[in-house]
Every structure is written in C-alpha cells, then in structure tokens.
C-alpha cells in the first residue's frame, strides 16, 4: 500500500538533458566515449599525493574558464556553480523552455568545496576571511545563480542529500508537476570535489583507490567487479541537469515511468545493510506499476567499494529473482561525482535507450545481455542510508 501512494498520476517527460563530466559534454562525444570502453580516470598529484581522479576534459575546462571570465560576478563563484550554469545554458539551447516561470532544484553533496576550503585556510592563517566567503559558499548558491543566469521567475531550491542528491531533486520536481504547481522544472546536481581535503576524507574511510595498489591501472575503479578484494572508489567532477515537463512531444528524450525511495536503519554514519534494504524499497516502489520481468537494464550506483557494490547486487537479486536484468555502471569511466552521479547515470540510461545498445563494464565475465532495451531502472544511494530509484523509458 505504501508504494501505491507514490504512483504517478500524470505522465512526466524528460524534455532535455545536459551534462559535463570526464566523458565530455557533447552527447555524441559522450556516447563515443562509452563505446570506446576505456577509462577516462586520470592519475595526478593532489596536495603532492598521486591519486586517480575523474577530471573534466581540457576543452570543457576552457569553457568553464570562459564562463567565469564573462562576468565579474562569476569570477567569485565556485566550480560547482559554474558547472551547473554551463549545463543550464546548454540545456535551454537543446530544449527551449515554454515559460519563464519554470522551477529550479539543483543540489550538491559538498557544495562550494574549493572556495570553502580556501576561505577556511585563510581564516586559520589570519583569523579573518573575505567578504564574499558566506554568500559564495551557501548551498542555495547553485540554484540561485542558475536562476539568475537563465532568468527564471519560478521557485528555486538547493539541497544536499549526499550521493542521491540529484535524484531527490527529480523527486521534488515531479511532485511540483504532479501537484499542478509548475509546468516545467529544471532539476539535477553539481559537484566539484577534487580537492585535497575531500579526497583525504575518502582516504580516511579506507574506500579510495590508491595509486600503486591498483591491479589494473587501465580500470582503477572496479565498479561491479564482485571479485575485487580492495575498495576502488575514485572521485570525479561534473554536473547534470534535466528539464521535466508534463507536455508530450517528439523532441522529448525520455519518460519517467516510476519513482521510488527508501531508507534503512544505520549501524554507523556510512553503513549499508548486506542486502541494501533501502535500495530494495526504492526499486520496488519505482517498478510498482510494471512487471519486474519487463525491466531490461539496471544502471547501478556501484561506487566501486567491496561492500557497497555487493549489497546493491544482492538487493537487485532479491527484487528481481529469476528475472535478473542486465546491470551496468559508469563510475569505472568517470568516477563518483557524489551529488551529480544520479543524473550522469540517468544520462547513460537515456543514451542506451536512444541508440538501443547496451553498455556494460569491461571486467565482468559472462555479463547478462538484455534482449531488448525499453525500460531502465537507475539507482542512487548515499550516506545516511537513503536510496532513490528512477524508472525511465522512451
């Protein structure tokens, strides 16, 4: 009964999508990079410690820098904001909006990471900080500046719900559309976490892939490799936005057929149960209106940790039983982009639907291949034992 409450009352379409990540920012380039089956994770020095990271391409870095220099106000903004603004401009070019009253809900797990660390270091050294340290590091900064840049007159929100942040933005946008309170909503996530302190936090948790200890440097992140014995998570930077609409159109890139969410009782702040109870709940809710055997692919959250990857596969097996769908992930190519990861996984699903080709991971033997690609379930889960699943189709 609890799942029926959240059934969609009206069709929700994905009018357009725009992303920037280690795989690029142009849809054709991103698809080509997926087909290439090579890792885009790079090794570099962060705070004099060699580490693997998923950086933007030099071309996209130049685009970000041009945006930053285009307005003196933008020069003070964190990359997490600039990435979202870049995606926002690309998005409305691909899928023009029908109204200026569109809503915006873009979140981030870490927010203005670089600026916050720089301002804090400044304060530790001098006991003082810059005038703009507060307005440029508040979480509402992302959606507010995106709204300014796109001249939105509708509601705007920012939020942080760890690694499922972007999918919680979808939940909120869907709720506004279902309630007839908006006609269109831009939702997503943005993350720029490639900083010494952030990576040190992941290392402290013993989940980061270490240079010199990686067995296969071609694929340092072993997401969904269930035979791995070491954690292999790697951070990436990026952003992704989609426009949600109630209007059916041939130009739409997909339709959201189901949404689901779940939580579970924590044993510690980063725990997840052996069978990922929260993910079971979110997946069951998202596919409530469809026969489980009709799900063709699951795009997993799969951060590359030993326990996290296995728990998600256990949850999928519990939900689908003998009708096990094909499973895949994109984190072995672009890293874990925290709050933006859900939208980037959704993009992978939409590309597979468009091109009708399954993109697997290169180190799984005897991988299940889908007989068709019509319904794809996408998962995102984060610290706090919260999970969101989105069912998407053409």
Q: How would you write the pLDDT of the chain (394 residues) with one tens digit per residue?
A: 344 456 788 899 999 999 999 999 999 999 999 999 899 999 999 988 999 999 999 999 999 999 999 999 999 999 999 999 999 999 999 999 998 999 999 999 999 999 999 999 999 999 999 999 999 999 899 999 999 999 999 999 999 999 999 999 999 999 999 999 999 999 999 999 999 999 999 999 999 999 998 988 889 999 999 999 999 999 999 999 999 999 999 999 999 999 999 998 767 555 578 889 999 999 999 999 999 999 999 999 999 999 999 999 999 999 999 999 999 999 999 999 999 999 999 999 999 999 999 999 998 888 899 999 999 999 999 877 799 999 999 8
CB distance 361 to 326 below 8 Å: no
Residue that terminates a domain, selected from 214, 245, 276: 245
Domain count, the chain: 2
Is 41 within a domain?
Answer: yes
The verdict on 213 and 264 lying in the same domain is no
Q: Tokens 């969101």 — which residue?
A: 388
The verdict on 241 and 275 lying in the same domain is no
CB distance 301 to 381 below 8 Å: yes
Is 1 within a domain?
Answer: no
The verdict on 237 and 262 lying in the same domain is no
Which SS3 state, helix, strand or coil, does residue 283 take? helix
Residue that terminates a domain, selected from 189, 215, 245: 245
Residue 3 CA: distances (Å) to CA of 6, 179, 184, 283, 289 = 6, 18, 25, 10, 9
The verdict on 359 and 332 lying in the same domain is yes
For residue 337, the surrounding DSSP H or E stretch is: none
| N- to C-terminal Cα separation, the chain | 27
Which residues touch 83 (CB under 8 Å, ≥6 apart)? 20, 64, 190, 191, 192, 237, 238, 239
Residue 50 CA: distances (Å) to CA of 46, 132, 210 = 6, 32, 8
Q: Tokens 């809503």 — which residue?
A: 103
Q: What does the pLDDT read at residue 226?
A: 94
Max distance between CA atoms of the chain, in angstroms, equals 63
The verdict on 217 and 323 lying in the same domain is no
Q: What does the pLDDT read at residue 3?
A: 43
pTM of this structure = 0.96
Task: Domain of residue 226: give its range.
Answer: 13-245
> Which token pair is 55?
């950086």
Q: Identify the CATH number of the domain in which residue 258 sits.
A: 3.40.47.10
CB distance 227 to 366 below 8 Å: no
Q: What does the pLDDT read at residue 39?
A: 92
The verdict on 180 and 299 lying in the same domain is no
Under DSSP, the state recorded for 338 is: G
What percent helix, strand, coil does the chain show, rounded to 5? 35, 20, 40
The verdict on 237 and 261 lying in the same domain is no
The verdict on 190 and 127 lying in the same domain is yes
Q: What does the pLDDT read at residue 141?
A: 93
The verdict on 310 and 177 lying in the same domain is no
The verdict on 38 and 154 lying in the same domain is yes
Is 344 within a domain?
Answer: yes
Residue 41 CA: distances (Å) to CA of 56, 237, 332, 336 = 10, 11, 8, 10
Distance CA 98, CA 143 (A): 19
The verdict on 305 and 181 lying in the same domain is no
Classify strands 156-157 and 103-107 as parallel, antiparallel or unpaired: parallel
Distance CA 241, CA 375 (A): 21
Distance CA 331, CA 119 (A): 30
Output b/e per residue, 113-136; b: 16+ Cβ within 10 A: bbbbbbbeeeeeeeeeeeeebeeb
Alpha helices, H only, the chain: 27-36, 58-69, 79-94, 113-126, 141-150, 165-178, 196-204, 277-286, 306-320, 331-334, 341-355
The verdict on 300 and 205 lying in the same domain is no
Rounded to 5 degrees, φ, ψ at 76 are -95, 0
Distance CA 155, CA 153 (A): 7
Distance CA 79, CA 108 (A): 12
CB distance 342 to 26 below 8 Å: no
Is 146 within a domain?
Answer: yes
Classify strands 49-54 and 235-236 as parallel, antiparallel or unpaired: parallel
Residue that terminates a domain, selected from 245, 279, 303: 245
Burial of 380 (0-12, 13-18, 19+ CB in 10 A): buried
């Amino acid at each position: 009964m609890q799942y029926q409450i959240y059934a969609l009352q009206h069709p929700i379409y994905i009018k357009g999508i725009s992303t920037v990540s280690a795989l690029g920012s142009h849809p054709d380039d991103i698809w080509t990079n997926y087909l290439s089956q090579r890792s885009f994770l790079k090794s570099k020095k962060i705070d004099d410690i060699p580490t693997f990271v998923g950086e933007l391409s030099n071309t996209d870095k130049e685009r970000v820098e041009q945006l930053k220099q285009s307005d003196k106000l933008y020069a003070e903004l964190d990359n997490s904001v600039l990435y979202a603004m870049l995606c926002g401009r690309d998005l409305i070019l691909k899928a023009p909006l029908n109204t200026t009253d569109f809503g915006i809900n873009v979140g981030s797990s870490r927010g203005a990471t670089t600026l916050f660390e720089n301002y804090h270091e400044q304060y530790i050294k001098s006991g003082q900080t810059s005038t703009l340290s507060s307005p440029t590091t508040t979480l509402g900064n992302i959606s507010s500046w995106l709204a300014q840049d796109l001249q939105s007159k509708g509601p705007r929100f920012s939020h942080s719900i760890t690694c499922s942040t972007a999918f919680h933005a979808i939940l909120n946008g869907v709720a506004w559309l279902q309630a007839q309170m908006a006609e269109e909503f831009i939702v997503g996530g943005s993350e720029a976490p490639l900083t010494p302190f952030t990576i040190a936090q992941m290392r402290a948790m013993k989940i980061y892939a270490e240079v010199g200890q990686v067995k296969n440097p071609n694929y340092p992140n072993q997401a969904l490799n269930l035979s791995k014995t070491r954690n292999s998570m790697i951070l990436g930077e990026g952003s992704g936005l989609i426009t949600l609409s109630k209007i059916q159109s041939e130009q739409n890139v997909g339709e959201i057929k189901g949404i689901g969410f779940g939580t579970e009782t924590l044993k510690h702040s980063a725990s997840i149960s052996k069978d990922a109870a929260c993910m079971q709940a979110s997946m069951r809710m998202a596919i409530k209106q469809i026969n489980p055997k009709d799900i063709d692919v699951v795009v997993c959250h799969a951060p590359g940790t030993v326990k996290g990857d296995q728990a998600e596969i256990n949850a999928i097996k519990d939900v689908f039983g003998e009708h096990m769908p094909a499973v895949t992930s994109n984190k072995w190519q672009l890293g874990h982009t925290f709050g933006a990861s859900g939208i980037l996984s959704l993009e992978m699903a939409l590309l597979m639907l468009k091109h009708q080709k399954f993109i697997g991971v290169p180190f799984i033997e005897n991988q299940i291949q889908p007989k068709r690609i019509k319904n794809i379930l996408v998962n995102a889960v984060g610290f706090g034992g919260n999970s969101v699943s989105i069912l998407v189709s053409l």
